[in-house]
Amino acid sequence: MVIIDGTADSIATVLGLVATGVDVLLLEEKTSYLSDPGSPVHTVGAAVVVGPDGARPEERAADGPTYRTYQQFRATPTGEPVEPAREAEILQLTSGSTGEPRIARVPVRVVLHGARSYQQVFGLGGFDVVLATVPLAHSFGFIGGMATALVCGAELRTLTRFNLRHVLNALGEATMVLGTPLVYQLLVPILRARRGTTAPRVLLSSGGPMAPELAEQVHDALGYPVRQIYGSTETGLIACHPSSMDTWPAGSAGLLAPGVEFRVVAGDRLQVRSPAVFAGYRTGERAPIDADGFYDTGDLVRVDDDGFLFLTGRKETFINVGGRKVNPKRVERILSGHSGVREAFVFGAATATSGAEQQVHAAVVLSEDTQVADVLAFCRAQQLQPYEVPHHVHPMSALPRTGMGKVDRRQIVADATATLGEESHG
């Protein structure tokens, strides 16, 4: 297991291990999965976590330490290439769209195919500067950012922790940017005042849908359209809007990426086959890939006569918090570990300012002597990250259920919305 935190050291660690045939599980520097005994990382069997041991002071200011949050380097091949005894696999945590997170196995050849797809559709080369504002532990940052830059011989710029000032400085030279809708939302007000000072020609967004209004604002501020990425850890890049086009049908997810074949079953359910599809799950759980090699995405789509893909429904139940995926089933399990929590149901709800950004909500049935503050303190004690801890907790006497005895999600959301703000944390 390697903590890949955006430093050159952590990236070199991953590349060195993979080059010698070692499978590598990628983890973010700040992750609650290591402290959660029920998380899938504890099934891997790796005894040592390799990587930086946290942020290190690069210089000391008068009022305390400051930290380097900006990395820049270019790959320079030296010596003879290593011939590993076996093909290594990159292991990545999925978002757990239909249950607890799982560990996906992504062979090196799949990573390289994905990187070459990005290179091809966005016309990248050694002259480019790739700015990754997203974590490299996830597919978008690792394949779309790091691997693509290395395959192209481009310069790669990363962040060891998000810092808006450093992003703005890097925009002056970056030619391709990888971000989430939240990153672009934070940049827009400043970019409007700095019009004409930025260079990116390829703006990519992933981690959740971008509101049309925000996409228009970014286009106006930077002079280039935002190209949303459609794919997953299991499938790699499925569709996008290549750099050869500046306009496309509103609401479309783009054209199919190189090598991707598709078929629509049951009227609107998307299945894909491509060299970018993963090799299965680490646990041995059977991947939803049929005998013909098609992966069932579970997403509902339509395809127009020009080949543009439109998403009409998504299977995901994860919660999108600023582009980071929070698995509600996992949070429910941790909540239920508190002795005073009799029942728990976790869901996501849109924030007041953006329909795409969400917050974590928890409907709970508590014992008489248990307070909401106790439950939140318990979550933090389990080392959940701030974005994973429920933003709003809704105590209920009982969770409403359907006639079949299942938790009535619709009723819970309606009841919670009615009492929103009564119990929350900042």
200-221 pLDDT, tens digit each: 899 999 987 788 889 999 998 8
CATH at 336: 3.30.300.30
Residue 423 lies in a domain: no
pLDDT in tens, 231-275: 999 999 999 999 999 899 988 999 999 999 999 988 888 999 999
Max avg pLDDT among 16-30, 108-122, 172-186: 108-122
SS3 132: strand
Closest CA to 254 of 314, 303, 295: 303
Give me the helix-helix angle, 164-171 and 181-193, nearest 10°.
Answer: 70
- Residue 402 dihedral angles phi and psi, to the nearest 5°: -80, 175
Higher-pLDDT residue of 54 and 235 is 235
Q: Which of the four pLDDT bands, split at 50, 70 and 90, describes residue 160?
A: confident
Task: Give me the pLDDT at residue 370, please.
Answer: 92
Residue 415 has pLDDT above 50, yes or no: yes
Within-domain flag for 227: yes
Same structural domain, 244 and 264 = yes
pLDDT given at position 319? 83
Which region among 6-20, 35-49, 69-83, 392-406 has the lowest average model confidence (pLDDT)? 69-83
Cα separation values, 222 from 156, 171, 175, 179, 226, Å: 20, 10, 12, 14, 9
> Does the residue 426 lie in any domain?
no
- For residue 62, name the pLDDT band (cuts at 50, 70, 90): very low
Instruction: Count structural domains, the chain.
Output: 2
**Boundary (domain end) residue, out of 313, 340, 367:** 313
Beta bridge partners of 72: 157
Residues 101 and 235 in one domain: yes
Please give the residue range of the domain that contains residue 359.
319-418
CATH number at residue 282: 3.40.50.12780
* Ordered DSSP codes for 164-203: HHHHHHHHTT-SEEEE-HHHHHHHHHHHHHTTT----SEE
The DSSP H or E segment spanning 414 is helix 409-418
Res 210: pLDDT: 85
pLDDT-based confidence at residue 65 (cuts at 50, 70, 90): very low
Residue 373 is predicted with a pLDDT of 93
Instruction: Examine the domain organization and report whether 174 and 192 are in the same domain.
Output: yes
Whether residues 147 and 21 share a domain: the answer is: yes
| Helical H segments across 75-224, by residue range | 108-121, 139, 148-152, 164-171, 181-193, 212-222
* Residue at which a domain ends, from 313, 334, 352: 313
How far is 41 from 92, CA to CA, in rounded Å? 10
- Residue 156 shares a structural domain with residue 243: yes
Residue 216, both tokens? 């228009």
Question: 379 and 252: one domain?
Answer: no
| Beta-bridge partner residues of 394 | 363
Asked whether residue 397 falls in the same domain as residue 300, the answer is no
Quick: pLDDT tens for 37-47.
Answer: 888 888 887 65
What does the pLDDT read at residue 423?
Answer: 42
Distance CA(184)–CA(105), nearest Å, equals 31
Residue 53 has pLDDT above 60, yes or no: no
User: Does the pLDDT value for residue 98 go beyond 60?
Assistant: no
Tell whether the model's pLDDT for residue 276 goes beyond 70: yes
Q: Is the dihedral of CA 178, 180, 183, 185 positive or negative?
A: positive
Burial of 295 (0-12, 13-18, 19+ CB in 10 A): buried
pLDDT of residue 426: 38
Q: Per the domain annotation, does 38 fall within a domain?
A: yes
Mean pLDDT of 272-291: 86
Q: What is the pLDDT of residues 320-350, one digit of tens each?
A: 888 788 888 888 889 988 999 998 999 888 8
Distance CA 235, CA 154 (A): 25
- Residue 376: is its pLDDT beyond 90? yes
Looking at the predicted structure, is the pLDDT value of residue 54 above 70?
A: no
**40 and 282 in contact (C-beta within 8 Å)?**
yes
Q: What does the alpha-carbon distance between residue 309 and residue 276 come to, in Å, rounded to a whole number? A: 18
Mean pLDDT of 401-418: 76
For residue 97, which of 289, 280, 253, 314 has the smallest C-alpha distance? 314
* Cα→Cα distances 62→65, 66, 270, Å: 8, 10, 57
Range in 37-46, 83-92, 142-151 the model is least confident about: 37-46
Q: Which class for 213: exposed (0-12), middle (13-18), buried (19 or more C-beta within 10 A)?
A: exposed
Same domain, 209 and 289: yes
Average pLDDT (367-377) is: 92
Question: Does 84 reside within a domain?
Answer: yes
Task: Categorize the per-residue pLDDT at 71 as very low, low, confident or very high, splitting at 50, 70 and 90.
Answer: very low
Q: Which of 33-47, 67-81, 161-175 has the lowest mean pLDDT?
A: 67-81
Mean confidence (pLDDT) of the chain: 83
Model confidence at 352, in pLDDT bands (50, 70, 90)?
Answer: low
The answer to whether 143 and 154 have CB atoms below 8 angstroms apart is: no
> Are residues 395 and 287 part of one domain?
no
| 105 and 64 co-located in one domain | yes
Whether residue 223 is found in the same domain as residue 160? yes
Whether 58 has a pLDDT exceeding 50, the answer reads no
Residues 329 and 300 in one domain: no
CA 138 to chain centre: 6
Compute the distance between CA of residue 336 and CA of residue 317 in angstroms, rounded to an integer: 19
Name the domain boundary from 251, 280, 313: 313
